[in-house]
Structure formats: structure tokens, C-alpha cells
Amino acid sequence: MLLLIISVVLVVAFLAYMLVWHAKSKIKSDEIRELSKRIRGGARTFLFQEYKVIFIFIILITGVIFFANRLMALAFFLGSLASIIVGFVSMTIATATNGKTVEKLKSLDNAFKFAFYSGTAASLFSILIALLGVALLSFFIADKNVLLGFAFGASFIALFMRVGGGIFTKAADVSADLVGKVEKGIAEDSPENPAVIADQVGDNVGDVAGMGADLFESFVESIVAAIIIAATASVALDTFLPLRLATVAILSAFLTLAFVRKGKPRALLSKYLAASFIFALVLFIMITREFFVSVAAGLLAGLIIGLSTNYYTDPHKKPVKAIASAATKGASIDVLAGLTNGMISAVVPVFMVCLATYIAYTFSPHGLFGIALSAIGMLSMLGIVLAADYYGPIVDNAAGISEFCGMTKERAKADTLDEIGNTTAAIGKGFAIGSAALTALALLATYATIAGIKIANLLDIKAVIAMLIGAIMPFWFSGLAIGAVDKTAEHIIPEIRKQLKSKKEPDYNKVIAITTRYSLKQLVMPALIAVIMPFAVGFLLGKNALAAFIAASIVTAFVLAVFMANAGASMDNAKKYIETGKLGGKGSEAHKASVVGDTVGDPLKDTAGPSLNILIKIMAMASLLFATLINLV
């Protein structure tokens, strides 16, 4: 309780501090201000269009749940609302920061701190809302299962933001490039291209709204899973421990920013991560002895997954250099090297999650509770990791704005800032996937508890069938998600062509509106199979088979997600490596080949891969709803 109050006070104080800093940083250049406003406007267009559809669904789902359990309906409504608020505030902060960052670029250090601290503000706000939401509900409501409603709300919004957003960002990107760069020979980020703002908005949609909602969901669900396991356990367990441990995500970030202040941007970022890890560890041991090993195992596994992700995707490391050198042999060899690298890169994360799960289970007084807590442990660096994630699109947009305004010197500096963020972004993605897997496993344990399953025999014929179906889900879902990018782009491209032909002022917002509309439309199929299949399996094959279904889909999706994310990121960075002048540099045959690889990898890493985080969590959540439902009947 005390820790929670401290967290609230600290976050509010920090937000106030950042508000003042922002207020003092007025944009002087009219052009930058105008452009920044456009991006913010575009982001709002996207959000409000999504909200319209979302709200209809929220009303519907809340209504349905209302008949089963009124409190849970309320919790669902609040969970959705909380995630929406978090998304809106984060997007506002990010789009309010990009233009100001450009003007601060005279000093790289200053610009870095401004962008990163703004990201931290958004990050801490997100975490605080998650914490407060769960805390308030669990203080006032005795039946802890009600918390599932809140988690399902978070899950539901994440589906729209992460999957819909993933389709949006790639469709905008692909269309802008295809018509602008390829057909018309317009430079990237040039104001002539009517899709340029959509592209900039897309960066925010993917990495701020999408990633934010994803990690918000993981955070909420890992806490909720732990609380429910504690509440339903046959032995006495502290149901407030998960909340206390979760405050570490805020506190460790604070301690980090308070104590680590000096260094060049790149070094500073690594120091932040290291400090955040150490502070989390220290705080954990202050909060719990009994479950320290469990949370520490999760935390350490998260760090190693992050580092391993970095190893396989960093342009300065062997794997990416190997892909770049494969590019000299042609586009297909580049793609194959990227795919292979992605496959191999999944080995370490899988073994890390295995190890964390095993240790968390074995070395704690209550095994399942230990696993749930290890998921919270993994997320305790979230304050810094999410901040670094939000930082990405801010400086990426800053680079775009400088280009748009023809500020070449600033552009170069912004690119440096952007590159600094890439490593951390890779680590962040590793975290997102690892924590999704661990959270989903915790949810599986929760499902078993609620459905009253002690033994789910995988040799049962129904379980085997359910596992087969569970394994196809991630592939099916990914196929639909990648296909959606192409189908959405088909509607954007004619609009861009038409606008370019008309010679009028480009109507940026129209492109954004079209992109949002069709990405929403393309979201329908994947969303449907994600929500319906668990119920179908549950009703047709029974609750034990449903556990097998969830388990198989978690393990397959986890591996597939790491594969796609790292394959995409490593091909992207192989291209960037060549662009630094290596192996022939820009314009060489190797560069052209690496561009093909990058374009193949883009929807893998930005659309399909991250979508799988959502898939496994939402399927696990749907099965929990199923369990609650059959308990009622």
C-alpha cells in the first residue's frame, strides 16, 4: 500500500516536471510546429476512428458480460477504458515531443534527454494506470475473478491497437514507398507524398499505441493471474504481493533516472538498462524473501532474452554481418540468411523461458504462484524498456520532420538518435514476446485453477486434436495479418496516385482515414478466429482439451514470434549496415538485395510477429472467460 502511494506521488511529480519542461519548450519554427500538428492530428484521426468501432464492441461485450456477472462487466469496461486512456495519453506525449526534439538538436545530449524523459513520462503513466486499475478493483471487490474482466478489457484494446495498428503502420509504409520512392522517385519523408504523414503516424501507431497496449496488457494480466492464483490456492498466499512487486516497475525506473545522469546518449541508455536491472533486484529482495528467486528468475530471463535478441539483430554483431555479406550474393540469399537467423535466434529465448519457469516453480513455496510472479519479475524493467520504446518513434519522427523541412544537419543528428534507440527497441521486442509467453503461461495456470482442472492428459485423443489446432493458430493468424497489409495497401495506393496526379495540395488526412478504415476491416478475420476458436475448442472438445489447445498455441506462437521478429529486424539492420558504406554501400547490388530482405522482413517484424503476442494472450483470456462461463452454467 505504501509502495503504491509512493509510486503515485513519484509519477505525478515526474509528469508535472515534464509538463513544465514541455511548456518551456515552445516550437519556434512555424514549419515544424505545423508539421508536428499534422502528425498529432493524423494520430488522432487514427485513434478516433478506431474508438468508434471499439466503443460499439465495448458496449456489446459489456452488455453480454453484464448478464453473467455485473461486476465483471464493470471491470471489463474499466479495463478497456484504462487501455484507451493510456494509448491516448502516450500518443499525445509522443506526438507533442517529436517537433520539440528537432529544435533541441543543437545539443545531442539535450535532445536525447528530452525525448527519453518524455518517453519515460508516457511509460510511467501507462504502468501507473495499470497498477491503479488492478489495485482499486482488488481493494473493493472480494471476488478476485472479477479482475479477469479488467484484463480482458486490456486484451481487447490491445487487439485493436497492436494488430490493427500493425496492419496500419506497414500498409502506410509500403504504399508510401511504392508510389513515392519507386514509381515517382520522390525522396522518403518528402512533403510532396500524400502518404508521408500516414507513414509518420504509422510509426507512432505501431511503437506507441501498439507496443504500449501490448505491454500494458501483459503487465495487467501478469498481476491479475498472480492475484487469482493466490486467491484460489489451497494454502494461504498474500494476494497483495503481486501488486507490491509490480510497483518495482515504477520504482526501479525512478531510482535509475535519479542516480544515472551522466554519459553520452548511447552509453547512458545501456547504463539505464543495467541500473534498472540492479535496482529491480534490490527492491525485490526488500519486498519478498520467499518468492525472490521466482521474480529474479523472470527478471534475469527477460534480460538474457533481450541481450540475445540484441546479439541476433545488432548490425555490429556477427549474425547481421553474415546476412549483409549474404546480400552480396543476391536478394534471395539475403532473405534465406535472414530467415535462418530468425529460426536459430529462437533457441535461446525458449530455453530461457524454460529455465525461468522451472526455477520459479521449483524454488518457491507455491509453484504456480511462483510462475505468475516470475512474469511480473520479467516486467519489472518495464519502466525503462517501455520508455526506450516510446523514444523510438519520437526520434524517428524528429528525423522525418527535419527531412520534411529540409534541415539536413538536424536530419543527420536525428538519425544518430534514432540509431541509438534501435538496440533498445530490439531488446524491448524481446521483452514483449518473452513476457507475453510467460504471462500466457501464467494465464494457462489460472485457467486450470478456475476450470478446476488438475490433470489435462495430453494422450487423450481430444487433447491431441486440440494441440494440432492450437499449433495452426499462430500460422493462420500470421498469414491473415501479413495478407492484410497487402490488401490494405491496395486501397491506399490508388488514392496516393490520384492525389499526385491532381497536382493539388496533398490531403494527408484522407490517406490516414483510408488506411485506418481498411486496416480495421482487415482486422476482422484474425480477430474473429482468435476469439472464436478457444470457445469452439472448449465446447466441442471439452475443457481439458482447451488447456491443450492453449498450451500448444502458446509454445508455437512464442517460437514463431521470435523467429519473425528477429528475422525481420536482422534483415532491416543488414540493410542499415550496408548503408553505412560497407560491402559497396548505398546503391550497390548488395544494397538492393538487402532492401528486398528488409521489405520482406518488415511485415514479419512489425505486423505478424507482434500480433502473436496478442494472439496467445487473447486466446488465453478467452479460455478464461469460457471457464468462468461454464462455472456459471
- Complex with a copy of itself: residue 265 or 302, whichever CB lies closer: 302
For a copy of itself, the closer of residues 415 and 486 by Cβ is 486
Q: Are 593 and 331 in contact (CB under 8 A)?
A: yes
CB of 66 to a copy of itself, least distance (A): 32
How would you label 298-310 residue by residue, b for 16+ Cβ within 10 Å and e otherwise? bbbbbbbbbbbbb
DSSP 366: S
- Rounded Cα distance between 548 and 550, Å, is 5
Residue 405, SS3?
A: coil
Of 92 and 328, the one with the shorter C-beta distance to a copy of itself is 328
- The b-or-e profile of 91-119 (16+ CB within 10 A means b, else e) is bbbbbbbbbbbbbbbeebeebbbbbbbbb
Shortest distance (Å) from residue 58 CB to a copy of itself? 30
| Nearest-5° Cα angle at 567, 307 to 357 | 45
User: Residue 61 or 564: which CB sits closer to a copy of itself?
Assistant: 564
CB of 166 to a copy of itself, least distance (A): 14
Give the residue with the Cβ less far from a copy of itself, 172 or 208: 172
CB 342, min distance to a copy of itself, A:
8
Minimum distance from residue 205 beta carbon to a copy of itself (Å): 20
Report the nearest approach of a copy of itself to the CB of residue 153 (Å).
27
Distance CA 374, CA 525 (A): 33
DSSP per-residue codes, 232-272: H-SS---TTHHHHHHTHHHHHHHHHHHH---S-HHHHHHHH
Q: Which is nearer to a copy of itself, 419 or 486 (CB)?
A: 486
CB closer to a copy of itself out of 415 and 460: 460
Residue 142 DSSP class: S
Which residue's CB is nearer to a copy of itself, number 39 or number 569?
569
376, 242 Cβ separation under 8 angstroms? yes
What is the full DSSP assignment across 316-363?
TSHHHHHHHHHHTT-HHHHHHHHHHHHHHHTHHHHHHHHHHHHHHHHT
Chain centroid to Cα 45, Å, comes to: 21
Closest CB to a copy of itself among residues 257, 323:
323
Q: 124 or 323: whose CB is closer to a copy of itself?
A: 323
Closer CB to a copy of itself, 57 or 351, in the complex: 351
Which of 223, 247, 201 lies closest to 91, judged by CA?
Answer: 201
Q: Which ranges in 141-190 belong to alpha helices (H)?
A: 147-158, 165-175
Shortest spacing between CB 405 and a copy of itself, in angstroms: 30
Give the separation between CA 129 and CA 423, rounded to whole angstroms.
27
- Shortest approach of a copy of itself to residue 257 CB, angstroms? 35
Amino acid at the residue 27: I
**C-alpha to C-alpha distance for 152 and 62, rounded to whole angstroms:** 11
Asked if 394 and 119 count as a contact pair (C-beta separation under 8 A), the reply is: yes
Distance, CA of 630 to CA of 633 (rounded, Å):
5
**Smallest gap from residue 606 Cβ to a copy of itself (A):** 12
CA dist 615 → 54, 153, 162, 213, 464 (Å): 18, 14, 10, 13, 21
Task: Report in angstroms how near the CB of residue 44 gets to a copy of itself at its nearest.
Answer: 30
| Minimum distance of a copy of itself from residue 545's CB (angstroms) | 10
Q: Which is nearer to a copy of itself, 419 or 460 (CB)?
A: 460
- 263 dihedral zone (left: phi>0; alpha: psi -120 to 50; beta): left
Closest contact distance (angstroms) between CB of 519 and a copy of itself is 16
243 or 346, CB closer to a copy of itself? Answer: 346
Q: How near is the Cβ of 561 to a copy of itself at its closest, in Å?
A: 11
Residues in Cβ contact with 339 at an 8 Å cutoff, skipping those fewer than 6 apart: 563, 567
